[in-house]
Amino acid sequence: MNLRGALVWTALALAIAVPLIAAAQSPLLAWREPIYIAAGYAGIVGLALLLVQPLLIAGILPGIPARRVHVWTGAGLVLAVILHVTGLWITSPPDVVDVLLFRSPTPFSVWGAVAMWAVFAAAGLAVMRRRIGVRIWRLGHSVAVVVIVTGTVVHAWLIQGTMEDLTKGALCLMILGAGAWALRQRRVWRALR
């Protein structure tokens, strides 16, 4: 691996590790149940995977089969969302039901629910890629990704929880920047028109 590759991987590792470490230092964790903490961390991991995905699709991460890893990272994102929602449901079923039915009074919940359904839609489209054709898949997947990134970033930003504001904000900005750049690089905007 050359110097550029080492710098890219180091920057990505720091971008993911620093928010995770900062969240682990949160005083709010002292009074939470382990399942709630695990659910919260599943959400943070899902957020971090949103930074990895566009870097893979744009071919920025050297030394790996980007397309294959993109698929596995997408599956990891689906799993992180399921663990996040399931853990929160175990600790507070009525709140999660309200979120899933869009009855929750908290704005971050609506953004999270929209992003969750978009994650499932993107995964479903990826599974059906050969049946629906590349053009429809690319358009649908790209629209879903825009909804996922936007919804997740707003969801994460509005939550006043274990993530520390500075590192959360930096990670969210990196996700938005990487997502926009990857879409532009892949010429997806032409397909959206």
* pLDDT tens string 120-175: 999 999 999 889 988 888 889 989 999 999 999 999 999 988 899 999 999 999 99
CA 61/CA 59 separation, integer angstroms: 6
Q: What is the DSSP string of 41-78?
A: HHHHHHHHHHHHHHHHHTT-STTS-HHHHHHHHHHHHH
Q: Which fold has domain 3-192?
A: Fumarate Reductase Cytochrome B subunit (1.20.950)
pLDDT at 192: 46
To which residue do tokens 């629910």 refer? Answer: 113
How open is the CA angle 90-91-92, to the nearest 5 degrees? 95
* pLDDT tens string 80-133: 999 999 999 999 999 999 999 999 989 999 999 999 999 999 999 999 988 998
CA 181/CA 171 separation, integer angstroms: 15
Could you tell me where the DSSP H helices lie in 1-133?
Answer: 3-24, 34-57, 66-91, 93-100, 107-127, 129-132
CA 154/CA 166 separation, integer angstroms: 15
